[in-house]
Amino acid sequence: MTAVSEASAAVLSDLRPQYGHFIDGDFESSTTTHFPAVNPATGEHLSDLARGGAADIDRAVQAAKAAFVNWRRTLPEERAAMLLRLADAIEADIERLAYLDALDIGRRVTETEIDHRIALGEFRFFAGAALNRTGFNRPIENGIAIARREPLGVIGAIIPWNVPAIMVAHKLAPALAAGNTVVLKPDEHASLSTLALCEHLAQIFPAGVVNVVTGLGEEAGAALTAHVDVRKLAFTGSSEVGRLVAIAAAERLAPVSLELGGKSPNIVFPDIDDIDGVVDNAAFAATYCNGQSCLAGTRLFVHEDVYDDVVGRLVAGVEKIALGSPIDPATGLSCLVSERQGKRVLDYVDIGRKEGAKLLTGGERSVVEGNEYGYFVQPTIFEATNEMRIAQEEIFGPVLSVIRWSNYETMIAQANGVRYGLAAGLYTTNIARALETADRLEVGSVWINKYFNLVDGSPIGGFKDSGYGSENSAETIDLYTHLKSVTLIGQPQAPFYLPR
């Protein structure tokens, strides 16, 4: 047995054959119905997960509501210490957690380990934010005016399947740092590493502070968004479902933060020095996470002066990417999360062909020995125009549309000419032009000369159909608190001059 196989077997042996919901500090011995967690590469049955509904969500919300009474009074220093302990626990357990995600969602294990390192960095960042984003004060005549940030209460969080470790950190870290309690609904295709994290949460946080209910979006997710005791909703996923979450929140005037889809432009200027570096960045931007990322740079705008060189090297480079098992560290690209997602991506390849886009490479499903069940889609590059559907719609797979440009104003209009506005990349040696372009792009994040340049404390959020509210930054605390004003003076006064 290889070292990779041994590591995988060890992780599988640690899995419980059946998981109940994690409510009030422990896993329930659930008698409800279950659904299977299946390895998308091999079809192997991994575990059975509780299929939650309205009653399960209500138990979790009531546990979180009861825990909030004391948790909100916990000193920021204590909350920070627990977040740091959680980060340390993730770091010590990172190999197991990374393998769990690789087995559960089909992404290569070298990427899922990076996910967990990003997550533990975010928990550590918000440990610090818990201490320094508490409000402000100023003197007034004979007294003081105080504005203090207070937690909202029970947070309902719903996350997708593509990067579960990062998504859990995006929701839990700021919510807990601010003094809220949480009910989290992970995606049905990516629950195992979150449930494994619950083992650490149970050892660190008071019972009921974090609760996890597994299940389907239309059942557990819908019940969570509709629950009257949930004071705020935090959702990451598609723009279509995000609208439904926003409507549910509006029914009871609950605040909501949404991190939704993207169709990010990645712009190559003609003055670039290192073409190989740009090509590597462009390939990474389009294929990281097997292309299943809302941040992916899926529209590559290349200036005509360097177009042939850049595109030629890009095609040659991606054709060398090795498709392989998610648990093999040598793998360059692994499988999509499900048959449904695989067919969706291949349908978009057919749409591109029918629209007249020129297929430069890829576009087919490959078979990987020992993983015949999985949908391994070759990295795919189309020569396209910006109005084509493959350049307008989020595909969520390793499919890149390359667009030639020559006129700066036209390129900017096209870069902004989609319904999304989440992220963008650009490559140039001209700093003035880089900053001007960053200013004009209608997106939440602009990465200059290095795509996916995610830094702890750097906001992640979007414009237009990419949602609203920034995660991953100190300002995120504001989304999980309300601002209370208190004014205090030394002695009562008589401002109305009542007759005496």
| Band of pLDDT at residue 195, cut at 50, 70 and 90 | very high
Q: Residue 370 has what pLDDT?
A: 96
Contact status, residue 335 vs residue 376, Cβ threshold 8 Å: yes
Computed from CA positions of residues 115, 185, 174, 420, in that sequence, does the dihedral angle turn out positive or negative?
positive
Same domain, residue pair 145 and 240: yes
Strand pairing class (299-303; 399-405): parallel
Same domain, residue pair 207 and 75: yes
Same domain, residue pair 224 and 269: no
Alpha helices in 149-274 (DSSP H): 164-177, 192-204, 222-226, 239-251
Burial class (CB in 10 A: 0-12, 13-18, 19+), 488: exposed
Residues labelled as active-site residues: 259, 294
Strand pairing class (22-23; 26-27): antiparallel
Q: Where are the beta strands (DSSP E) in 7-153?
A: 18-19, 22-23, 26-27, 34-38, 45-50, 135-140, 143-151
Same domain, residue pair 363 and 237: no
| CA distance linking residue 473 with residue 66, whole number of Å | 28
The DSSP secondary structure of 423-454, one letter per residue, reads EEEEE-S-HHHHHHHHHHS-SSEEEESSTT--
Record the pTM.
0.95
Q: Residue 273 has what pLDDT?
A: 93
Structural domain for 334, as ranges: 265-448
Same domain, residue pair 43 and 107: yes
| CA distance linking residue 319 with residue 162, whole number of Å | 24
Same domain, residue pair 69 and 214: yes
pLDDT over 90 at 24, yes or no: yes
Structural domain contains residue 363 = yes
Q: What is the mean pLDDT of residues 231-251?
A: 97
pLDDT over 70 at 4, yes or no: no
What is the enclosing helix (H) or strand (E) of 134?
A: none
Instruction: Report in angstroms the alpha-carbon separations of 442 from 24, 60, 264, 423, 425.
Output: 42, 39, 10, 8, 12
Structural domain contains residue 453 = no
Same domain, residue pair 359 and 480: no
Domain count, the chain: 2
Structural domain contains residue 295 = yes
CATH at residue 222: 3.40.605.10
CATH at residue 301: 3.40.309.10
pLDDT over 70 at 185, yes or no: yes
Structural domain contains residue 421 = yes
Same domain, residue pair 273 and 361: yes
Structural domain contains residue 81 = yes
Same domain, residue pair 243 and 300: no
- State the number of CA atoms in the 13 A half-sphere of 367 facing the CB: 4
Same domain, residue pair 310 and 430: yes
pLDDT tens-digit readout, 432-452: 999 999 999 999 999 999 999
Structural domain contains residue 281 = yes
Structural domain contains residue 285 = yes
pLDDT tens-digit readout, 326-375: 999 999 999 999 999 999 999 999 999 999 999 999 999 999 999 999 99
pLDDT tens-digit readout, 460-492: 999 999 999 999 999 999 999 999 999 998 888
pLDDT over 90 at 265, yes or no: yes
Q: Residue 485 has what pLDDT?
A: 93
* Lookup: tokens for 128: 């610090």
| Residues whose CB falls within 8 Å of the CB of residue 458, separated by 6 or more in sequence, listed in order | 445, 472, 473
Structural domain contains residue 458 = no
Count, residues in the chain: 500
Same domain, residue pair 414 and 280: yes
Same domain, residue pair 226 and 77: yes
